[in-house]
Amino acid sequence: MKAFCYFFILIFFNCSSSSSIIKNKLDLSNQQFRQIKSIDSVLFLVSKSLNNNVKPARIRRRLDSFYLNSYTKGELKALLLGEYIFRNDKNLNFELDRTIKPGEGFNMDGVDDGKKFLDSVIAKNFNVKTIVQDSLK
């Protein structure tokens, strides 16, 4: 029973310290923090981003848009993940494009579609030539 109490106290203090770090680094009000604290995946992404050198201003920008109802929870998660993935790009600026109608944008239904997309991006940006070998030679 004693071990359980120590474990509970350790978890409690770890969670509360993580919450206070998020609130302080991003300068969130109590109301703003309450809006995101029930979304575990957002808290995880924010914490991971702050611990891996994503600029707080980039995270704060995404949260501010969420607070203004410009993003849904899913969009917020996707954009926070994008900020994390591209954290080392100095002048990166990306935003949702709501002008694209459903069905007109790129749709990835599986790994093959993702591979085709990545191959096209690499071919366009890196001038890579593909060599096709004939298996009959």
Say which residue the tokens 């849904």 belong to: 72
pTM score of the predicted model: 0.63
User: Which residue would you say has higher pLDDT here, 20 or 3?
Assistant: 20
Instruction: Grade residue 12 by pLDDT with cuts at 50, 70 and 90.
Output: very low
Instruction: Grade residue 60 by pLDDT with cuts at 50, 70 and 90.
Output: very high
* Residue 14 pLDDT: 47
User: Which residue would you say has higher pLDDT here, 44 or 97?
Assistant: 44
pLDDT at 63 over 80: yes
Count of C-beta atoms within a 10 Å radius of residue 2: 6
CA distances, 95 to each of 35, 76, 80 (Å): 22, 11, 11
End-to-end CA distance of the chain: 73
Instruction: Grade residue 49 by pLDDT with cuts at 50, 70 and 90.
Output: very high
Instruction: Grade residue 9 by pLDDT with cuts at 50, 70 and 90.
Output: very low
Q: Which two tokens stand for residue 121?
A: 């991006």
Q: To the nearest whole percent, how much of the chain has pLDDT over 70?
A: 66
Q: To the nearest whole percent, how much of the chain has pLDDT over 90?
A: 31
CA distance linking residue 132 with residue 129, whole number of Å:
10
Domain boundaries defined on the chain: 2-107
